[in-house]
């Protein structure tokens, strides 16, 4: 007799379904929480970056005299387009290459056609956003590290919404556990009590990183030291993800010799930890940057 699984919390991943019977009977356009999480993260991050551009005092040490910000609202608008492409394209391609490489070789078109089934990688999205930052900086003649530092201030907002959407979808749950706050998830065939690792990640990757990087920005004027915010983001995320991988459900596709010891998330986080530490050291030893001279047009 099949076990009936009663999830601790069960949410409908579809917020609204719009019938499209005029196209074909039974068709519908679904508005999903996961898509709204991406949209909210991008839009809130966009407006927050504009706010940073409008505060020239943040970009110089306390004793310095502000002359302007290193980028303006038009630069942020341009970045939003490229970042959206980078997050979605990089996240999807990263998921396939890092976690579903066999499916890629068997069904190459599944990279695109299978996107409705879910499957995004943070590390792939990070590479995509990094490429978007580089393209924007190159096209608009901006300092790469300065615009990357501003992006590091707002990125945890999207991470928080994304992890909460994972929780709503009942996916990316943790390992089996007996902790008092363990939960059952509807999509789990074992119907086991598990760590709600999505909430752990929302707290560490979202709330913690946002708090630390924003404290550095507003209290210690870290934007005056190019690369410092970027380094702090990479270091804290890499350490948090490596620790959280010990309670997330391990990757089934890892080689047998590594299963139970190392996960793909850990391996992908190691370069982030080293890059973050290097950027922090570089920012602190090279001293504050000269005051930016690009003025923000009033709108």
Helix (H) or strand (E) holding 17: strand 14-19
CB atoms under 10 Å from CB of 292, counted, come to 22
Kindly report the average pLDDT of the chain as a whole number.
87
Per-residue pLDDT at 117 exceeds 50: yes
Residue % of the chain over a pLDDT of 90: 59
Per-residue pLDDT at 297 exceeds 80: no
How far apart (Å, rounded) are the C-alpha atoms in residues 66 and 59? 7
Specify whether the CB–CB gap between 64 and 34 falls below 8 A: no
Per-residue pLDDT at 299 exceeds 60: no
Please tell me whether the overall predicted TM-score, pTM, comes out greater than 0.95 for this model: no
**Torsion angle in degrees (nearest 10) through CA of 68, 74, 79, 85:** 170
What 76-80 contacts at long range (C-beta under 8 Å, 24+ apart), as own/partner pairs, is 76/46, 76/49, 76/50, 77/46, 78/136, 78/139, 78/140, 79/49, 79/132, 79/133, 79/136, 79/147, 79/151, 80/42, 80/46
pLDDT score recorded for residue 1: 42
How far apart (Å, rounded) are the C-alpha atoms in residues 99 and 294? 43
Per-residue pLDDT at 71 exceeds 90: yes
Give 171-186 pLDDT, tens digit per residue: 889 999 999 999 999 8
**291 vs 205, which has greater pLDDT?**
205
Give 33-49 pLDDT, tens digit per residue: 888 998 999 999 999 99
Backbone dihedral angles phi then psi of residue 109, each to the nearest 5 degrees: -70, -15
Per-residue pLDDT at 62 exceeds 50: yes
> Average pLDDT for residues 185-201, to the nearest whole number?
93
pLDDT score recorded for residue 232: 98
Specify whether the CB–CB gap between 159 and 120 falls below 8 A: no
What burial class does residue 217 get, using C-beta atoms within 10 Å of its C-beta: 0-12 exposed, 13-18 middle, 19+ buried? buried
How far apart (Å, rounded) are the C-alpha atoms in residues 94 and 89? 8
Per-residue pLDDT at 257 exceeds 60: no
pLDDT band at 207 (very low <50, low <70, confident <90, very high): very high
Q: Which of 141, 152, 289 is nearest to 214 (CA)?
A: 152
**Which is it for the CA torsion 73, 75, 81, 82, positive or negative?**
negative
pLDDT score recorded for residue 252: 63
Specify whether the CB–CB gap between 3 and 24 falls below 8 A: no
Residue 132, CB-side half-sphere exposure with 13 Å CA sphere: 25
């Amino acid at each position: 007799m099949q076990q009936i699984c009663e999830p601790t919390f069960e949410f409908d991943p579809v917020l609204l379904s719009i019938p499209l019977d005029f196209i074909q009977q039974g068709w519908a356009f679904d508005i999903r929480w996961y898509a709204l999480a991406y949209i909210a993260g991008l839009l809130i991050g966009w407006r927050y970056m504009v706010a940073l551009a409008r505060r020239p005092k943040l970009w110089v040490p306390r004793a310095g005299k502000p002359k302007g910000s290193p980028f303006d609202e038009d630069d942020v608008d341009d970045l939003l387009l490229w970042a959206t492409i980078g997050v979605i394209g990089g996240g999807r391609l990263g998921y396939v290459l890092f976690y579903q490489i066999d499916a890629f070789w068997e069904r190459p078109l599944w990279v695109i056609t299978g996107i409705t089934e879910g499957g995004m990688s943070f590390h792939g999205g990070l590479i995509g956003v990094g490429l978007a930052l580089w393209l924007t900086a190159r096209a608009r003649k901006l300092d790469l590290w300065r615009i990357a530092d501003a992006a590091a201030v707002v990125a945890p907002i999207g991470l928080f919404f994304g992890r909460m959407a994972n929780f709503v979808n009942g996916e990316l749950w943790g390992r089996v556990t007996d902790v008092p706050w363990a939960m059952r998830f509807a999509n789990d065939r074992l119907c086991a009590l598990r760590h709600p690792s999505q909430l752990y990640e929302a707290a560490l990757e979202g709330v913690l990183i946002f708090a630390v990087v924003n404290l550095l920005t507003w209290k210690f004027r870290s934007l005056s030291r190019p690369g410092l915010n970027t380094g702090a983001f990479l270091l804290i995320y890499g350490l948090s993800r490596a620790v959280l991988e010990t309670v997330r459900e391990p990757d089934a596709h890892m080689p047998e010799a590594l299963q139970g010891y190392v996960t793909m998330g850990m391996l992908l986080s190691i370069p982030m930890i080293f890059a973050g530490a290097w950027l922090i050291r570089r920012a602190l030893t090279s001293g504050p940057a000269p005051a930016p001279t690009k003025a923000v047009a009033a709108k």
